[in-house]
Structure 1
Amino acid sequence: MKKRKLVLVFNDVERVHLVKDVFLVPYYLGKRLDMEVSIVYPPTETNVDLPSSHRGVKLIRLPKGRYPITASLWLMKYAKEIDILMQFHFRNRVTLTTFVYKFFNPKGVVYCKSDGLFCFEPFISIPKSPLLKFLYRNYMRSVNCISFELKDALYMAQTKSFMGLSLKDKAVYMPNGFDEEDFQQSGVRERAFSEKENLMITIGRLGTYQKDTEMLLDAVADIDLKDWKIMLVGSIEEKFKSKIEAFYQMHPEKRYSVVFTGPVYDRNLLYDLYSRSKVFLLTSRFESYAIVLGEARRFSNYLVSTPVGGMSDRIHDKGQGSFVEIENSESLTSVVEDIINGHLDISKVSNDNLSWDELVKAIRLPGFN
């Protein structure tokens, strides 16, 4: 019997997306519904080396041209063959491609994976263009299910109307998950707390304004780390490298206890880092949804984070993590010292079931549930 088809149309697919929700949600949703899955994307200078398929998912490159026009033309040709159209976020281009899909396949099902509150900006400020008004209203009526990464975004979607239309019966909560299948195939050993190292890690684009890596360095500058190590994993902004060297010159004793590893692209090495570490640190000024928090929680890391990126959704009680104030290094110093000195019990962090296999069950689609 011929399988039904699920297609994600997305405006920016790079190799890095093959380990993120852009790939993993359609992959796991298609696996659950036993569907043929394809991801359709425009070509760029940096994605020319993408394979034609990955883990059974077809990766279809659009012709060169202006997006979303190229996507709309592709949908005109193939809409009738698509049973579920998946898209990300509320954007003008998404309303256009949804309109084209539903025009050529009125019985087709539409699913949108959204993120945080800022996704509602187009609806809160009603567009002046009559065409955009039409497209947004059409989109609100056409979409069958919208999942939100954050609970406060879900609450807004369920309690407010947008352009006179309600999303209450279409909105569901689905946080970002973990690629359990990939981990189980990795061969990396998952460590119990007693086997973990006295290790704190952070992962991200270090030195960017968003990540506020300065806050972390300021916080640990005068701390006696004892037998603890802090590893900062990720690419380093060029302008930040001088600050790192200045930190080591002022605190030479920390050159081997506060370590910048550079980027780690090997997922097995990242899994091993999470498994070895006891604490995950996040000092961001802002995040939509910090995927690293969910990954760290999967390996029972105690979370120490600013109140961003779904942190409040990850922390159910004091034993799971601690909040620190944005741009407040003293707040972080206090928590880190409490951990090192044994004043905080970090040994009882629960291992949340964040497998995408389970999370995609929240997606409710007519004719597929």
Structure 2
Amino acid sequence: MRKNFTLYWPSFVDVELCKDLGIITMIFSKYLNYNSSILCNKNQENYDEVTKENITMIYAVDDVIINNALENTDVLLLIGYYDFNLRMIEKYKSINPKGKIYLKLDLNIHWLRRIVLGKENTDLLNQCTLISVECKNLKKTLHENWPVKIEYIPNGYYNAGITRNIEYKEKENTIITVGRLGTYEKATEVLLEAFKLAAPKLLNWKLKLIGSIEPYFQAYIDNFIETNPELKDQIIFTGRINDRKLIEEEYKKAKIFCLTSRCEGFPNVFGEAANKGCYIISSDIDPAWDITDDKKYGSVFPINDHVALANELITVCLNESRLESVCKDIQIYTKENFEWIKLCEKIESFLNENNE
């Protein structure tokens, strides 16, 4: 008999079906033989349950619906150390004491430093069957500071289209980034300033920025291009690409994926880029060390340091043999360690081994 798997995420929107929370929920249904649901607030026109991607949407419009969903849930997935999730642990256990809870912490170091873990919250966390964190460095910090068992489960990739190995000869002299361009966290200006410095040495390279542009950042871009007109043909803004297969094509063609973030959990783009053979250049955020296997398959530069990034871009772009060997090796490493179906099988085995 199929068990019931429910993600509780009040603010769920459709675009999150392609992110970790949607992908895990979908894989538990499609590959691991669960009935998967998402319990969320109403954001549609009707109040019917809607099925998408092997997932039933349940709209939490009243206590009867919520309690009924929880009562029939064998595994409850919660994402993030939020008050609403801590309250949900208590509520779920009062309704369904034998049910299992998987809390995926989705932490970054800044968020972790702000958490003060009192006895009441520690007791709630200890009611979870499985708690995981996405980065090895964070697991080490949690192990030293929290009286709670934490497992390491990184974020990964799930192929929408291209499942074969990518050959280096398919790639172009392109550096890409993917994300919400211009947000403080993403530090897109660091990438642009670094490329400006590196560009005289990278005449046959292009920089492609994929994603929506924050309204206030458009003025920065306009000014940047106006004051650096020689870069106009080397820098491409594609806008947001919603089609997963088109995004995979962009990763496939790029030789380098660059992330300049000031602050991140474990970005989904890391697994997606690495799986397509991209050399990763990232600011010094915890997940950069995981996805590059401690710089075996990429480079890490100091946060906010556009000069260091420019030097790294020059060094890496001009080292064809390194780019080619990493293209092959990072795909092997990523398939082994960051493939979402394997990660979900690991989650399920933790849930089953922690039988209460």
Report the secondary structure of 1:327's partner residue. Answer: coil
Which whole-Å CA distance do the structure 2 matches of 1:9 and 1:43 have between them?
A: 13
Which whole-Å CA distance do the structure 2 matches of 1:118 and 1:318 have between them?
A: 23
Deviation at 1:344, TM superposition (A): 7.2
Deviation at 1:76, TM superposition (A): 2.7
Deviation at 1:91, TM superposition (A): 1.7
Which whole-Å CA distance do the structure 2 matches of 1:368 and 1:319 have between them?
A: 34
Which whole-Å CA distance do the structure 1 matches of 2:321 and 2:313 have between them?
A: 9
Letter in 1 for 2:92: Y
- Shift of the 298–319 alpha-carbon distance from structure 1 to 2, 3 Å rule, reads same
Report the secondary structure of 2:290's partner residue. Answer: helix
Q: Does the 8 Å CA contact 2:60/2:66 hold for their aligned counterparts?
A: no
Letter in 1 for 2:16: H
Q: Does structure 1 residue 179 correspond to structure 2 residue 179?
A: no
CA RMSD, Structure 1 to Structure 2 (Å): 2.5
1:28 equivalent in structure 2: 27
Letter in 2 for 1:111: Y
Letter in 2 for 1:228: W
Q: Does structure 1 residue 6 correspond to structure 2 residue 15?
A: no
Alignment gaps of 5+ in structure 2: none
1:18 equivalent in structure 2: 17
1:365 equivalent in structure 2: 351
Tell me which moved more, 312-321 or 106-115: 312-321
Alignment gaps of 5+ in structure 1: 64-69, 127-132
Report the secondary structure of 1:294's partner residue. Answer: helix
Q: Does the 8 Å CA contact 1:90/1:119 hold for their aligned counterparts?
A: no
Which whole-Å CA distance do the structure 2 matches of 1:237 and 1:313 have between them?
A: 29
1:293 equivalent in structure 2: 270
Deviation at 1:235, TM superposition (A): 1.0
Q: Does structure 1 residue 102 correspond to structure 2 residue 93?
A: yes
Q: Does the 8 Å CA contact 1:174/1:360 hold for their aligned counterparts?
A: no
Q: Does structure 1 residue 326 correspond to structure 2 residue 310?
A: no
Report the secondary structure of 1:115's partner residue. Answer: coil
Which whole-Å CA distance do the structure 1 matches of 2:263 and 2:321 have between them?
A: 26
Which whole-Å CA distance do the structure 2 matches of 1:282 and 1:159 have between them?
A: 29
Which whole-Å CA distance do the structure 1 matches of 2:341 and 2:267 have between them?
A: 19
1:232-290 deviation line (CA, Å, top 9, x unaligned): 11111222222222222222222111111111111111000000000011111111222
Deviation at 1:77, TM superposition (A): 2.9
Report the secondary structure of 2:237's partner residue. Answer: strand
TM-score, length of structure 1 as denominator length? 0.85
Which whole-Å CA distance do the structure 2 matches of 1:252 and 1:338 have between them?
A: 24
Number of residues of Structure 1 aligned to a counterpart in Structure 2: 342
Q: Does structure 1 residue 355 correspond to structure 2 residue 334?
A: no
Which whole-Å CA distance do the structure 1 matches of 2:35 and 2:323 have between them?
A: 43
Report the secondary structure of 1:366's partner residue. Answer: helix
Which whole-Å CA distance do the structure 2 matches of 1:78 and 1:247 have between them?
A: 52
1:81 equivalent in structure 2: 72
Deviation at 1:119, TM superposition (A): 5.5
TM-score, length of structure 2 as denominator length? 0.88
Q: Does the 8 Å CA contact 1:43/1:62 hold for their aligned counterparts?
A: yes
Identity %: 28
